[in-house]
């Protein structure tokens, strides 16, 4: 083990980047904390300072209907293709290159990877609660059904 390996290991322990939660094995990034990446406009951790979730979307058509009050949507099609190895030497670029979109918890851990809208909605519900659209619908009083008026 080299000195650089030891340094990297200690940094990962201190910053929790080395922590991987068991959120399934469908993608290598799932459950891992994403490192601070350079984006087309700023850096990843700068975009996460709000303490909200973040949908990092390279495809564009995904929607956050009902979760926009809890999750930010960043459409950044250049990520990570424009990242040079010098800018982020510890990022596994070949893993990130195949990611169409990923959902980050406020602590930076990846809780969903994919491009399917229905699958995204299921994971948004799991991690960020019910959709505001669903909550609004459940708070509405039941609407009376139209019944024929009784004959007089």
pLDDT score for 88:
45
Q: Which two three-digit tokens encode residue 122?
A: 């299921």
Beta-bridge partner residues of 20: 32
DSSP 8-state class, residue 48: T
**What pLDDT, on the 0 to 100 scale, is given for residue 84?**
47
Torsion angle of alpha carbons 106, 111, 117, 119, nearest 10°?
-140
Separation between Cα atoms, residue 111 and residue 124, nearest integer Å: 9
pLDDT in tens, 35-91: 888 887 888 899 999 999 999 998 888 999 899 999 999 988 765 554 544 444 444
pLDDT surpasses 90 at 122: yes
Nearest to 34 by CA among 98, 88, 115: 88
Structural domains of the chain, with CATH: 21-130 (3.40.30.120)
Q: What is the pLDDT of residue 67?
A: 96
Is a pLDDT exceeding 80 seen at residue 16?
no
| Category of 26 on φ-ψ map: left (φ > 0), alpha (ψ -120 to 50) or beta | alpha
Q: Which span out of 5-14, 42-51, 113-122 was modeled with the highest average pLDDT?
A: 113-122
- Furthest CA-CA distance within the chain: 94
Q: What is the mean pLDDT of residues 4-23?
A: 77
């Amino acid at each position: 083990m080299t000195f650089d390996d030891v340094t990297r290991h200690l940094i990962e322990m201190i910053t929790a980047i080395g922590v991987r939660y068991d959120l399934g094995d469908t993608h290598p990034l799932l459950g891992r904390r994403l490192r601070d990446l350079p984006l087309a406009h700023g850096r990843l951790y700068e975009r996460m300072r709000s303490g909200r979730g973040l949908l990092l979307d390279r495809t564009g058509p995904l929607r956050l209907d009902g979760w926009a009050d809890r999750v930010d949507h960043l459409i950044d099609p250049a990520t990570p293709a424009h990242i040079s190895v010098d800018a982020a030497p510890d990022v596994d670029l070949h893993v990130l290159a195949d990611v169409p979109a990923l959902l980050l918890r406020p602590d930076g851990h990846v809780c969903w990877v994919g491009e399917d809208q229905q699958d995204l909605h299921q994971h948004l519900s799991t991690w960020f609660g019910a959709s505001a659209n669903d909550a609004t619908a459940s708070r509405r009083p039941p609407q009376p059904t139209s019944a024929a008026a009784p004959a007089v």
